[in-house]
Amino acid sequence: GLQRVLGPRDGTAARPVPAGPRTADRIVPVPLSVTPGSGPGYRLTDRTVIRTAPGTEAVERQAGEVRRIAERLAETLRRPTGLPLPVVEPAAGDGIALVLDPALPEATGTEGYRLTADADGVRITARGPEGLFRGTQTLRQLLPPGIESPAPAADGPEWTLAPVTVEDRPRYRYRGAMLDVARHFFTPAEVKGFIDRLALYKLNHLHLHLTDDQGWRIEVPARPALTAVGATSEVGGTPGGFYTAADYQEIVRYAQERYLTVVPEIDVPGHSNAALAAYPELDCTGSARPWPYTGTEVGFSTLCPTGDAVFTFTRDVVTELARLTPGPYLHIGGDEVKRIAPAEYAEFVRRVGEQVRAAGKTPVGWNQTAPGGIGLLQFWDGRAGRDTELREATERGAEVIMSPSGRSYLDMKYESTYPLGLVWAGTIDVRTAYDWDPDTLLPLRAGSVVGVEGPLWTETLDTPGALDLMLLPRLPALAELGWSPRESHDWGHFKGRLAEEGARWEAAGYAYERRPEVPWP
């Protein structure tokens, strides 16, 4: 049966957790290598400082960024511990040190780090700031569950780390989750909460599905009706909403501070009913343009694939989105277009892809866009023929983000009787979400898979709590597929580690699903 766990603030009693510090081989995603040390480990006290270390000239230029990482770590640790944890410039004494070291092995990459803990302190080293940030997430996970509490927590004062050396770096360069803010709108504050969960599991991309039949969620000054008309509703008929440029940039900044790149998606030419309701002249197929559209059918809408007007429109949108987005990608959607001919579709995709490149960005598309020459393809649809088309694209050089709907879709039900989510791609329990290999699921050109993504579509989800129930515990399964070495893949080991996350979510006040396939304590 279904059990919802809503955390201690909702009256659920805290569950027992293993005594003593958590060893690094228990965290999610599991690190590349863990070497236990000897001795007592390190205990945070009221004398602990967070130090940022000096270095070479090249490193000095990044000193401000390292300091901000230290401040963010201090904020996270101060709330539950009540310790002062001042951030200081280099000084002797015990504490947590964040050290940039460009001399670390090149294989460490931009996101890799080394963490050592012993009686004298904790030291995180990385070749760049991003690696330091990922290392601070490991540090969080090595402390007791109460460290996730937003208020003084009961596990103290034993804020102790086991003695250890961790060497770590990701398997894939792209590890993402997608939030559909079109079917149901989520406020900037709610999106920040979503980002917090992604950052903890070392994801590095947030894909925002900003437009669909039911709503257009990003302001485009040259096209005011997109939001004046297209943002006024959502699935179920509730009011919807949209992000102003300032809202969007605030989300981007919050993500950036956690070393996540925002990938904005404008879904064209299909899934475009909200845009067509705002600008009916973009329709040449004579399709109905119901507005508000509060249902969940797919495939009925399409922009006119030919003529100048539509490309002026897409250029207006692409230009504005490129202006607001510091990351390298713009996602152009391209899924489920049922009303125009394949040749027209491919030519449309090719032209919009060119507009994205002209705006200085790399176009990304759902796997259907392969014939339109899009070089970074997001695989989702395993139905007849799609994987052949995708393999051929990879043989021409395309790269692939794996988000197979039957494995990584965070909106699929855990089991058929589950109250939230959909079942069109099957049910996805935690083992199904975890037990696959992104490199070999499809027969693609070797090396063409650059990572994984978990899309969270929101036809049936309209509150942050509902998002959490779908995300936890499946997001950490995907995060581990994206980060941890293939050789470490082991369901039996993973489910035991995952079970330990529950107490952490309870401390954080996150809802999660106590699925029976996970041995929760």
The residues assigned a catalytic role are 336
Residue 5 DSSP SS3: strand
Cα–Cα distance, 10 to 511 (Å, whole number): 10
Residue 255, exposed/middle/buried by CB under 10 A (0-12, 13-18, 19+)? buried
Cα–Cα distance, 378 to 364 (Å, whole number): 7
Cα–Cα distance, 5 to 11 (Å, whole number): 10
- Give the CA angle between residues 104, 113, 125 to the nearest 5°: 65
Measured in whole angstroms, the distance separating CA 95 from the mean position of its chain's CA atoms is: 31
Q: Which residue has the tokens 């904020």?
A: 75
Q: Which of 88, 309, 359, 422 binds ligand TNX (CB under 6 A)?
A: 422
Cα–Cα distance, 280 to 289 (Å, whole number): 8
| In the complex, minimum distance from the CB of residue 409 to ligand TNX, in angstroms, rounded to a whole number | 6
Site track for ligand TNX across 374-403, x = CB under 6 A: ------x-----------------------
User: Hey, which residues between 336 and 375 contact ligand TNX (CB under 6 A)?
Assistant: 336, 366
Considering the complex, state which of residue 159 and residue 379 has its C-beta at the smaller distance from ligand TNX: 379
User: Hey, which residues between 243 and 302 contact ligand TNX (CB under 6 A)?
Assistant: 298
| In the complex, minimum distance from the CB of residue 180 to ligand TNX, in angstroms, rounded to a whole number | 6
Q: Which of 148, 219, 283, 335 binds ligand TNX (CB under 6 A)?
A: 335
| In the complex, minimum distance from the CB of residue 31 to ligand TNX, in angstroms, rounded to a whole number | 32
Q: Kindly state whether residue 457 participates in binding ligand TNX, applying the rule CB under 6 A.
A: yes
Considering the complex, state which of residue 399 and residue 411 has its C-beta at the smaller distance from ligand TNX: 411
Considering the complex, state which of residue 118 and residue 212 has its C-beta at the smaller distance from ligand TNX: 212
Q: Kindly state whether residue 234 participates in binding ligand TNX, applying the rule CB under 6 A.
A: no
| In the complex, minimum distance from the CB of residue 445 to ligand TNX, in angstroms, rounded to a whole number | 22
| In the complex, minimum distance from the CB of residue 111 to ligand TNX, in angstroms, rounded to a whole number | 27
Q: Quick count: other Cβ atoms within 10 Å of Cβ 72?
A: 16
| In the complex, minimum distance from the CB of residue 207 to ligand TNX, in angstroms, rounded to a whole number | 11
Considering the complex, state which of residue 48 and residue 367 has its C-beta at the smaller distance from ligand TNX: 367
Q: Who contacts 248 (Cβ-Cβ below 8 Å, separation ≥6)? A: 218, 219, 264, 324
Q: Who contacts 492 (Cβ-Cβ below 8 Å, separation ≥6)? A: none
| In the complex, minimum distance from the CB of residue 63 to ligand TNX, in angstroms, rounded to a whole number | 43
| In the complex, minimum distance from the CB of residue 455 to ligand TNX, in angstroms, rounded to a whole number | 6
Enumerate the β-bridge partners of residue 51: 88, 97
Task: Indicate the Cα dihedral angle 421, 423, 424, 430, nearest 10°.
Answer: 90
Considering the complex, state which of residue 429 and residue 459 has its C-beta at the smaller distance from ligand TNX: 459
Considering the complex, state which of residue 32 and residue 470 has its C-beta at the smaller distance from ligand TNX: 470
DSSP H or E stretch at residue 376: strand 376-379
Q: Quick count: other Cβ atoms within 10 Å of Cβ 237?
A: 12
Q: Kindly state whether residue 453 participates in binding ligand TNX, applying the rule CB under 6 A.
A: no
Considering the complex, state which of residue 147 and residue 352 has its C-beta at the smaller distance from ligand TNX: 352
Give me 445's structure tokens.
Answer: 């050109």
Enumerate the β-bridge partners of residue 262: 206
Considering the complex, state which of residue 459 and residue 480 has its C-beta at the smaller distance from ligand TNX: 459
DSSP letter at 367 equals G
| In the complex, minimum distance from the CB of residue 502 to ligand TNX, in angstroms, rounded to a whole number | 26
Considering the complex, state which of residue 234 and residue 411 has its C-beta at the smaller distance from ligand TNX: 411
Residue 465 DSSP SS3: helix
Do residues 425 and 406 make contact, with C-beta atoms less than 8 angstroms apart? Answer: yes
User: Hey, which residues between 458 and 477 contact ligand TNX (CB under 6 A)?
Assistant: 459
Cα–Cα distance, 337 to 359 (Å, whole number): 25
Separation in Å, CA 489 to CA 36, 197, 440, 455, 483: 20, 22, 14, 22, 11
Count of residues touching ligand TNX (by CB under 6 A): 10
Q: Kindly state whether residue 411 participates in binding ligand TNX, applying the rule CB under 6 A.
A: yes
Give me 396's structure tokens.
Answer: 């021409």
Do residues 36 and 23 make contact, with C-beta atoms less than 8 angstroms apart? Answer: yes
Q: State the residues that interact with ligand TNX by CB under 6 A.
A: 298, 335-336, 366, 380, 409, 411, 422, 457, 459
